[in-house]
């Protein structure tokens, strides 16, 4: 168990355990979770804590309570993560993957910066820029297509940024911070939705002649270091039917 998991409240640890089992497919749709009494005994917690863990799973839409039967696992695509959430995950675990996710189709190349990317990175349009792409998937299919745009100057410090392989030794942001000695101190996130374009359909491996009717979620994240340099601009395009969810504690 990670330090992060160890610092969670008992109900949250129980919920996180079953979230992982559900997301990975080890608990299939229709499966029943242990009863409140059995959960309390297995995890050595009170029945109130066990009930709170199940309530959290219900709130997140992962399970439903069926009177007289128990708590049943539901079947639906998991929400996508924002760039900031993936950064947080990478900082704590060294991986940007969510529960039950994997990534593939890693591509990296030096390209001419599109105007919108150049504006965010504060470079001239058409300047060289590193473009890194990968696809996040779970058992339902594509969670998100993710593109990272990184100023070309970092390729000299970290050559692997332009290699079409999954990075090792940390995320791109961690590698840049280590190479420059400047920590990432700020991030700016946006969330929006748009109708699927032919370009989106290609990235999400969809048939552009028969695209889904619902809009797709687009998340962006701009990361800035301690000297106000923009070091990365991330754009995540959600798969069909994916939503974005964030969670925080509310204190009274």
Hey, what domains does the chain have and what are their CATH numbers? Answer: 10-73 (1.10.10.10), 83-238 (3.40.1410.10)
> In which region does residue 51 sit, left (phi positive, over 0), alpha (psi from -120 to 50) or beta (all else)?
alpha
Are residues 137 and 103 in contact, defined by beta-carbon separation less than 8 angstroms?
A: yes
The DSSP secondary-structure symbol of 77 reads P
Q: How many Å apart are CA 126 and CA 142, to the nearest integer? A: 30
Q: Is the dihedral of CA 110, 112, 117, 121 positive or negative?
A: positive
Give the mean pLDDT of the chain: 88
pTM, full prediction: 0.74
In this model, does residue 221 exceed pLDDT 90? Answer: yes
pLDDT tens, residue by residue, 119-155: 999 999 999 999 999 999 887 789 999 999 999 999 9
Q: Which two tokens stand for residue 120?
A: 């965010």
Q: How many Å apart are CA 199 and CA 96, to the nearest integer? A: 25
Are residues 111 and 129 in contact, defined by beta-carbon separation less than 8 angstroms?
A: yes
pLDDT, residue 94, reads 67
Residue 36: Cβ within 10 Å count? 19
pLDDT tens, residue by residue, 51-103: 999 998 888 778 888 888 999 998 776 778 777 777 777 777 667 777 678 88
pLDDT, residue 251, reads 66
Question: Number of helices (H) and strands (E), helices first, in the chain?
Answer: 9, 8
In terms of Cβ atoms closer than 10 Å to its own Cβ (0-12, 13-18, 19+), residue 195 is exposed
pLDDT, residue 23, reads 76
């Amino acid at each position: 168990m990670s330090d992060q998991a160890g610092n969670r409240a008992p109900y949250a640890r129980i919920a996180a355990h079953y979230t992982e089992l559900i997301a990975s497919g080890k608990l299939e749709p229709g499966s029943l979770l242990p009863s409140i009494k059995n959960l309390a005994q297995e995890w050595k917690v009170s029945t109130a804590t066990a009930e709170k863990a199940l309530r959290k799973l219900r709130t997140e839409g992962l399970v439903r309570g069926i009177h007289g039967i128990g708590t049943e696992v539901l079947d639906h695509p998991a929400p996508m993560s924002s760039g900031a959430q993936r950064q947080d995950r990478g900082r704590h675990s060294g991986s940007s993957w969510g529960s039950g996710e994997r990534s593939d189709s890693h591509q990296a190349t030096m390209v001419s910066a599109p105007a919108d990317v150049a504006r965010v990175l504060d470079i001239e349009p058409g300047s060289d820029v590193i473009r890194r792409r990968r696809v996040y998937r779970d058992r339902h299919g594509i969670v998100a297509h993710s593109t990272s745009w990184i100023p070309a100057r970092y390729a000299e410090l970290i050559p692997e940024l332009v290699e079409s392989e999954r990075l090792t030794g940390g995320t791109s942001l961690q590698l840049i911070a280590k190479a420059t000695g400047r920590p990432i101190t700020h991030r700016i996130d946006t969330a929006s939705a748009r109708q699927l374009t032919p370009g989106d359909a290609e990235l999400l491996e969809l048939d552009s002649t028969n695209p889904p009717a619902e809009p797709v979620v687009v998340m962006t994240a701009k990361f800035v270091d301690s000297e106000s340099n923009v070091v990365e601009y991330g754009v995540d395009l959600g798969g069909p039917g994916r939503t974005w969810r964030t969670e925080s504690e509310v204190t009274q």
